[in-house]
Amino acid sequence: MPHTGQLLNLQTPDGRLLPAWAAIPEGPLCGAVVVLQEIFGVNSHIRAVTERFAARGFAAVAPALFYRLAPCDTLGVELGYSDADMQQGRQLKAQAEALPPPGMAQDVGTAVDWLATTTGQKVGAVGFCWGGLLAWRAACSLPQLSAAVCYYGGGMTGPEERSRQPLCPVMAHFGRQDHFIPVDTVLAFDQVQPQAQVFVYDADHGFNCDQRASYDDASALVARDRTLAFLDTQLRT
């Protein structure tokens, strides 16, 4: 059944209000999931992903991770997938990554803790593009996280990132045709992270997003089924 989300504000450790899109299904839960955005903000695609998790029985929340750059009472940045949007998103990502520690990492932790407290469920993180990188970092730094799924996480296969050690089970999806993430770096990541489940698809970057020209239905469906089975296993209480 479709499930409509709603805008919430979560209290961060440093006293800020973090806007987030939340979708909490009625009835028994399968677990809880933090959905971590691409560089395009909590746009219609990320909200739809959040609501689809709720339709599958997971409590889900997508924090608006650019809000520290321009605090507001709404989700703030909501970009599309044009070249101009891509350029703006890259600039925003660079600014967010340049924030002094802990930066947006504390906001990911806020969303994880909010879900755990609100639902009493184990919490996983699922991230896309930049969010895939953030999900990987969260897996390596947040002991309260029970699972992480990274979709084409930009940067996570580089030498510095792949040297991290995860604290929870990890699944990662990559596209063989992805020019942003060379497949040799994916293979290197797989070699040094044997405990992670790494899958490579005959697809391009962003293959899970049905709003992008790079969307690949077959790859997205296989990745979705693998992700749901993984989360079902890891988040059962």
Kindly name the residue from 45, 204, 205, 216 that is annotated as catalytic. Answer: 205
DSSP assignment, residue 100?
A: P
Q: Is the pLDDT of residue 1 over 60?
A: no
The CA distances from residue 56 to 65, 181, 224, in Å, are 24, 30, 11
Q: Which amino acid is at 15?
A: G
Q: Which residues touch 80 (CB under 8 Å, ≥6 apart)?
A: 40, 43, 211
Among 107, 113, 178, 190, the one annotated catalytic = 178
Model pTM score: 0.97
Is 205 among the residues known to form the active site? yes
Residue 96's φ and ψ, nearest 5 degrees, are -65, -40
Query: Catalytic residue among 30, 45, 113, 129, which?
Result: 129
Cα-trace Rg, the chain: 16
- Per-residue pLDDT at 237 exceeds 90: no
pLDDT tens profile 163-218: 999 999 999 999 999 999 999 999 999 999 999 999 999 999 999 999 999 999 99
